[in-house]
Structure 1
Amino acid sequence: MSDYILAFDVGGTFIKSAALLASGELVPESVASYPAKASLGREELLGHLTELIWRQMGTILTGDPLARLHGIGYAFPGEFDYPNGISYIAGLGKFESLYGVNLKQEVTARVLADAAGLGKRLSPRFRIAFENDASLFALGEWKLGKARPYRRSVCLTIGTGAGSAFLDGGRLVSSGAEVPPRGWICFLPFGDGIVDQYVSERGFLKLAADLAGPAGAAEGFGIKGLGVREFGVKEFAAMAREGNEAARRAFDQFGRNIGEVINRHLSAFRPEAIILGGQISKSSDLFLGGILDVLHDKAMAIETTDDTSLSTFAGAAELLRLE
């Protein structure tokens, strides 16, 4: 009989999930992605979240009929009361029906109500925990990834926004003079706005649009008849790797922006390393040079993760261990 943890990385479009042994070892066949169904009503969405628990447990039970559920760890976007499991997401058009809902209580109640199924599969120490996705990514990177060799590091997830988490000896640091409130850099001032507007997918795409000129035409990138906004980061990365000079300039400036954010907002923490994750980190070969060109602390290591989701899953297991 083995105890397992279910990890869910909740996004607005998809919910990625995996099962891990309570010791933190991943069950490879359990890695899956499901529709988020974020626009459903309250009861339907809670039912969907419960169904995903059952589906993941079904995968575990196929290989281990005596498996017990030790805990569930959720990476959820903000605004969110993580210790108490209460969602305050609003104004995003996603998960609106869960505003003010205590997900920890609601999901636990649904699991316990299934007395003949999930309810009888729970270990005596079963619990549910919630945390920000960047924080779980950081815990996973410290447990199994690139942050492990360093006592102090900052983990950045760069995607639709700029996620951040500060680590000291494997512990999350979210308060104090050296870190921003909650350890979140996204709302800190930068340029003509805030960090989230620059160190993100939309921040990169704005750089590309600016390079294309006032009309936003793609002729500046050697493409006729299309607008820059019809392209994503992936397409620009392919162009840059093929030698497109305008695309390469966009990535270089994006890296410089990241480097300046590190100089301005992260250096007080004195990190030995910055760990980059998120979708845009897959193009880090194109913007690392820009970071290094402006970085004040030349001894600071800049690392990129191999798989953000796997680190987040490992972080969920670590979160439950630490609780």
Structure 2
Amino acid sequence: MINSKFILAADIGGTHITSAVVSTADWSIIPATEARHSVASAEDAKSIFQDWKTALSSSLSQFKNSEPKGQISSLGIAMPGPFDYSKGISYMQGQGKYDSLYGIAILERLQEALNLPGLTIHFINDAAAFLQGEIFTQQLNHTDRVLGITLGTGLGSASWQRGQKAQDAALWDSPYKGGIFEEYLTTRWFTSTFEKQTGIRCSGLKEILQEQHAHPYLPELLENYSLHLTDFLAFFAAREQCTRFVIGGNIGKIIPQLIKANEKAFSPYQLYSSQLAEKAAIIGASTIFEESFDR
């Protein structure tokens, strides 16, 4: 069980960090403590830790100046994988993010950066943290089983059973089309495929949808992605014997468009869009200090 009534928690993605202080009385975020900062995840380790520190320090500072008052002795962090969550060591490489952190003991570096040597830091897979937070927010905890997927700079997957915490399913590198699923389900697939087919280079999916919304290739791009996604849903559903999914991440925001592009393929599944975005992962990250979390 946790000893503190308040926990500092963060969701670290490929391009950002979002942090806040969570009250364990009702597992809610204290609004004044929310902080978001961009992360140059392709840069050196020092730059990355500085970006993380900026957000975390802001949350701590705002907490000291807000109500209610309390002490922070724990930090829960939702991180993408591959990552050793028990030891706090990153093994991400060749994914376009955090290569410079490979093999580094992140726990000690964070304690030094925040100047809080007594701070207890635990890590959780970002997809598992996301699913944990969304289940209770959307009141899906009355069901027996729910699966979660995060779609963005990487592919995250998690499973949840009633009475248990969400667990990382780690399906990002499952074989698919001569490669792995992640190669076909991330932002990189959208940008590289769009450039290959049109000759137009875009920085991300948002730019494609906003600046190229009238391009004749866009419907085909969305339809092809929807086929990859439904292939993954079928694979995940068969593995876990569950057809109920919560989908988040930046690509998860366009689920209605993807369903419209291929309604029949999505029909076997119950899909729930994220309601909290990064906040779900923050709440989920804060719960890792609880021995049980069955509400």
What interval of TM-score do these two structures reach, taking the shorter chain for normalisation? 0.7 to 0.9
Q: 1:37 to 1:199 in 2, by over 3 A?
A: closer
Percent identity (aligned)? 23
Deviation at 1:205, TM superposition (A): 3.6
Task: Name the SS for the 1:74 alignment partner.
Answer: strand
Which residue of 1 is the match for residue 179 of structure 2? 193
SS of the counterpart of 2:158?
strand
Aligned to 1:61: 64
User: 1:30 & 1:308 partners in 2: Cα distance?
Assistant: 16
| 2:88 is the counterpart of 1:85 | yes
Instruction: Give, in whole Å, the separation in 2 of the partners of 1:161 and 1:152.
Output: 24
Amino acid at match of 1:260: D
Residue in 2 aligned with 1:11? 13
Say yes or no: does 1:137 pair with 2:130: yes
Alignment of 1:47-58 (within 5 A): 49=52, 52-58=55-61
Work out which structure has the larger RCO, using CA pairs closer than 8 Å and 6 or more positions apart in sequence: 2
Q: Which amino acid aligns with 1:168?
A: Q
AA aligned to 2:151 is: I
Asked if residue 282 in structure 1 is aligned to residue 253 in structure 2, the reply is yes
Q: How many positions carry a matched residue from both structures?
A: 287
| Cα RMSD (Å) | 3.2
Are the aligned partners of 2:175 and 2:181 in contact in 1 as well (CA < 8 Å)?
yes
Instruction: Give the Cα separation in 1 of the matches to 2:229 and 2:100.
Output: 35
Corresponding position of 2:285? 316
CA distances 1:1-53 after superposition (whole Å, capped 9, x unpaired): x83211112234322111211231111122211243543455x7656655644
Is 1:152–2:121 an aligned residue pair?
no
3-state SS of paired residue (1:63): coil
Q: Specify the SS of the correspondent of 2:103.
A: coil
Q: Report the CA distance between 1:58 and its aligned residue.
A: 1.1
Q: Which runs of 5+ in 1 are unaligned?
A: 120-125, 175-181, 211-215, 218-226
157-166 or 258-267, which moves further after superposition? Answer: 258-267
* Partner Cα distance (1:204, 1:285) in 2: 17
Instruction: Quote how far apart the aligned CAs of 1:72 are.
Output: 0.8
Are the equivalent residues in 2 in contact too, given 1:254–1:290 (CA < 8 A)? no
Letter in 2 for 1:288: I
Describe the superposition over 1:160-207 as per-residue Cα deviations: whole angstroms up to 9, x where unpaired.
121111111163565xxxxxxx51221111223211111122223455
Please, which of 206, 213, 222 is the counterpart of residue 234 of structure 1?
A: 206
Secondary structure of 2:20's match? strand
Cα contact 1:173–1:183 (8 A) shared by 2 = no
1:87 shift after superposition: 2.5
Q: 1:289 to 1:137 in 2, by over 3 A?
A: same
Distance change >3 Å, CA 97–CA 247, structure 1 → 2: closer
Task: Map 1:1-323 onto structure 2 (within 5 A).
Answer: 3-23=5-25, 24-36=27-39, 38=41, 39-41=43-45, 49=52, 52-64=55-67, 66-91=69-94, 94-108=97-111, 127-145=120-138, 147-169=140-162, 171-172=164-165, 183-209=169-195, 216-217=197-198, 227-230=199-202, 232-238=204-210, 246-290=217-261, 292-295=263-266, 298=268, 300-322=269-291
With over 3 angstroms needed to count, the CA separation of the structure-2 counterparts of 1:256 and 1:264, relative to structure 1, is same
> Could you tell me whether the CA contact under 8 Å between 2:132 and 2:166 is conserved in 1?
no
Could you say which residue in structure 2 is the equivalent of 1:223? none
Deviation at 1:154, TM superposition (A): 1.3
Distance 2:45 2:190 in 1: 34
What amino acid sits opposite 2:257 in the alignment?
Answer: L
Which one has the largest radius of gyration?
1
Aligned residues of 1:156 and 1:274 also touching (Cα < 8 A): yes
Distance 2:213 2:139 in 1: 25
Q: Kindly tell me: are residues 320 and 280 of structure 1, through their superposed partners in 2, closer, same or farther at Cα, counting changes over 3 Å? A: same
Whole-angstrom distance in 1 between the partners of 2:274 and 2:291: 23
Q: Secondary structure at the match of 2:287?
A: helix
Check the 8 A contact 2:191/2:202 in 1, yes or no: no
Label 1:196 to 1:61 Cα distance change in 2 as closer, same or farther (>3 A): same
User: For 1:10 and 1:279, how far apart are their aligned partners in 2?
Assistant: 13
**Unmatched tracts of structure 2, length 5 or more:** none
The 3-state SS of whatever aligns with 2:30 is strand
State the one-letter code of the partner of 1:248.
P
Q: Cα gap change, 1:191/1:170 in structure 2, threshold over 3 Å: closer, same or farther?
A: farther
Which AA in structure 2 matches 1:194?
A: I
Q: CA deviation at 1:100?
A: 3.1
